Amino acid sequence: MADRLPQLLAFHEASPEDDFPPYAIAQEYLRSGDTDQALEWLAKTLSINPDHAYAYYHRALVLSGLDREQEADTAIQNGLDAAQRAGDAKAQAELLELRERD
């Protein structure tokens, strides 16, 4: 994480309207086990792009892992809505699968 994080933060600073850098930063924090930072960066991703279905997917996974099931269910529903708006059948299927696992 240490190698990529500064570069991703610089990308985010250079293009704060781009949803990719905060999403990638969240993934780096997830890999390191820092769920608080991951949730913060996923929230930033969603503030930039409320239709980012995979940000909702990963948010739901993190919240479920923290036994915050109601919030996870909300993230799944929001992700399903986003995937439907975007016409992203793959994301929709993955979110439905995640809902059934819970």
pLDDT tens, position by position, 28-81: 999 999 999 999 999 999 999 999 999 999 999 999 999 999 999 999 999 999
pLDDT band at 3 (very low <50, low <70, confident <90, very high): confident
3-state secondary structure the chain: CCCHHHHHHHHHHHCCCCCHHHHHHHHHHHHHCCHHHHHHHHHHHHHHCCCCHHHHHHHHHHHHHCCCHHHHHHHHHHHHHHHHHHCCHHHHHHHHHHHHHC
Q: Which CATH number fits domain 1-49: 3.30.300.30, 1.10.10.10, 1.25.40.10, 3.90.1150.10?
A: 1.25.40.10
Question: What is the pTM assigned to this prediction?
Answer: 0.92
Q: What is the pLDDT of residues 42-54, one digit of tens each?
A: 999 999 999 999 9
Rounded Cα gap, residues 63 and 86, in angstroms: 24
